[in-house]
């Protein structure tokens, strides 16, 4: 049986413009878009609210927070996955690339334990059983400073919905943590390290980079190609680092830390993604370049919620205010991220695209979600 629905009298956020109109949905797909404020018989009156494509999230640590809500607490994974999925739906995210670290350090105070393969299998199983509200893909965060990266990547296949692989190099003293004091503050508060343990942790990471870094980097590039996944850089700081990224075929840069790196990314045709919390807070918690500065310099293309899912829509609306163009601001969380990972069936309000939609209005600059649809079905 064909399922149809009409959302009428909405302010449609289209490619490059907003205008009043209605959207007809048929069997989870946008079937028609018409102009005007009329409300046909049987249609839902959106009362002038904004109607936008659903948000596309490429980099979120939110799942890890549900799996380990407190240090050392391993929450039941099925319950954590369902809760994570519901939380994202409630913020307007209809497509997510769930970030999972690959590359572990089994020993030491600052150890990282392998988890991605098991968690990915559990997520894919829930998806097969239709227990998730929104669309999920995998984002493998490949930790170069680790002992087991190659072995862990080898456990994934092209059938695992790995859509994004990012090269993560957390060698102390460069990229995100050029300022060792910032790294010390972060690690000590998160892992409860003593001064001596922190010194040993830094030495261990530098040793791992020296021993395995080049091999792990080359392996990650090759494995991303095997998966058919988009390869991203992470925390590029210098033009030389961006040059290396471009040589790997990278076309997406997560959180470049300087204006120099962002400019180099654009010179190489690499899209720049920054964190929504950075934009909303007015700066980076690690002391790196502010997302607002890149927006003012026309160097910001995509926004990620990073560690606060609700920040994604808020950041898009804020960018709309900064640029004086809401459609452009919303594109950083819809059309641009979808295009960057090759998802051609979503991210824009067009006939034939998935009916992943959000309805919202704003009050004093704050977006207020009123409904979220995934393939035409209301999920929040």
Q: What is the pLDDT of residues 219-256, one digit of tens each?
A: 999 999 999 999 999 999 999 999 999 999 999 999 99
pLDDT digits (tens, 9 = 90+) for 82-115: 999 999 999 999 999 999 999 888 765 556 789 9
Q: What is the pLDDT of residue 112?
A: 73
Q: Can you read off the two tokens belonging to residue 171?
A: 């060698």
Of the listed ranges 155-164, 193-202, 249-258, the least confidently predicted one is: 193-202
% of the chain residues with pLDDT over 90? 77
335 pLDDT exceeds 90? yes
Q: Can you read off the two tokens belonging to residue 120?
A: 């990915």
Residue 57 pairs in a beta bridge with 96
In angstroms, the CA 181 to CA 160 distance is 38
Instruction: For 16-64, give the secondary structure using H, E and C.
Output: CEEEEEEEEEECCEEEEEEECCCCCCCCEECCCCEEEECEEEEEECHHH
In angstroms, the CA 186 to CA 192 distance is 10
Q: Can you read off the two tokens belonging to residue 299?
A: 């160097």
Q: What is the pLDDT of residue 210?
A: 72
Among 18, 29, 94, smallest CA distance to 362 is for: 18
198 pLDDT exceeds 80? no
Q: What is the pLDDT of residue 190?
A: 62
44 band by pLDDT with thresholds 50, 70 and 90: very high
User: Beta strands 93-102 and 55-60: pairing type?
Assistant: parallel
Instruction: For 183-198, give the secondary structure using H, E and C.
Output: HHHHHHHHHCCCHHHH
pTM of the full structure: 0.91
Q: Which domains does the chain have, with CATH numbers?
A: 54-347 (3.20.20.140)
Q: What is the pLDDT of residue 93?
A: 98
Contact 31, 3 (CB under 8 A): no
% of the chain residues with pLDDT over 70? 91
In angstroms, the CA 313 to CA 360 distance is 10
Q: What is the pLDDT of residue 169?
A: 84
For the chain, report the end-to-end CA distance as a whole number of angstroms: 24
183 pLDDT exceeds 70? no
CA quadruple 193, 198, 202, 207: dihedral positive or negative?
negative
Helical axes 259-267 vs 239-247, angle rounded to 10°: 30
Read off the pLDDT of each residue in 154-167 and give the average, rounded to a whole number. 97
Read off the pLDDT of each residue in 191-215 and give the average, rounded to a whole number. 72
Q: What is the pLDDT of residue 186?
A: 63
User: If you count DSSP H runs as helices and E runs as strands, how many of each does the chain have, helices first?
Assistant: 13, 16
Question: What's the mean pLDDT when you consider all of the chain?
Answer: 92
């Amino acid at each position: 049986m064909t399922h149809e629905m009409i959302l009428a009298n909405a302010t449609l956020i289209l490619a490059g413009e907003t205008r009043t109109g209605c959207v007809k949905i048929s069997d989870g797909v946008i079937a028609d878009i018409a102009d005007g404020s009329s409300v046909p018989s049987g249609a839902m009156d959106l009362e002038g609210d904004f109607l936008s494509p659903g948000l596309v999230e490429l980099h979120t640590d939110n799942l890890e927070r549900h799996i380990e809500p407190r240090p050392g607490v391993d929450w039941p994974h099925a319950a954590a996955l369902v809760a994570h999925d519901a939380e994202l739906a409630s913020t307007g995210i209809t497509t997510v690339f769930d970030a999972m670290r690959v590359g572990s350090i089994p020993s030491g105070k600052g150890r990282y334990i392998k988890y991605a393969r098991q968690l990915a299998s559990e997520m894919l199983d829930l998806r097969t059983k239709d227990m998730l509200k929104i669309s999920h893909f995998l984002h493998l965060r490949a930790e170069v400073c680790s002992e087991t990266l190659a072995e862990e990547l080898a456990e994934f296949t092209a059938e695992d919905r790995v859509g994004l692989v990012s090269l993560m190099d957390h060698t102390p003293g460069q990229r995100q943590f050029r300022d060792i004091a910032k790294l010390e503050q972060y690690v000590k508060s998160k892992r409860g390290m003593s001064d001596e343990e922190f010194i040993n942790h830094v030495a261990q990471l530098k040793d791992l980079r020296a021993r395995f870094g080049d091999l792990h980097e080359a392996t990650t590039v090759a494995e991303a190609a095997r998966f058919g996944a988009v390869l991203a850089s992470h925390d590029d700081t210098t033009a030389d680092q961006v040059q290396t990224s471009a040589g790997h075929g990278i076309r997406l840069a997560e959180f470049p830390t300087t204006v120099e790196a962002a400019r180099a990314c654009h010179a190489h045709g690499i899209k720049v993604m920054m964190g929504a919390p950075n934009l909303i807070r007015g700066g980076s918690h690690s002391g790196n370049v502010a997302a607002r500065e890149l927006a003012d310099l026309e160097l910001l293309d995509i926004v990620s919620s990073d560690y606060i899912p609700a920040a994604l829509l808020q950041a898009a609306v804020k960018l709309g205010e900064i640029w004086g163009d809401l459609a452009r601001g919303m594109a950083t969380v819809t059309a641009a991220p979808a295009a960057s990972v090759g998802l051609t069936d979503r991210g824009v309000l067009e006939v034939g695209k998935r009916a992943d939609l959000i309805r919202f209005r704003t009050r004093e600059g704050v977006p207020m979600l009123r409904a979220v649809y995934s393939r035409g079905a209301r999920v929040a």
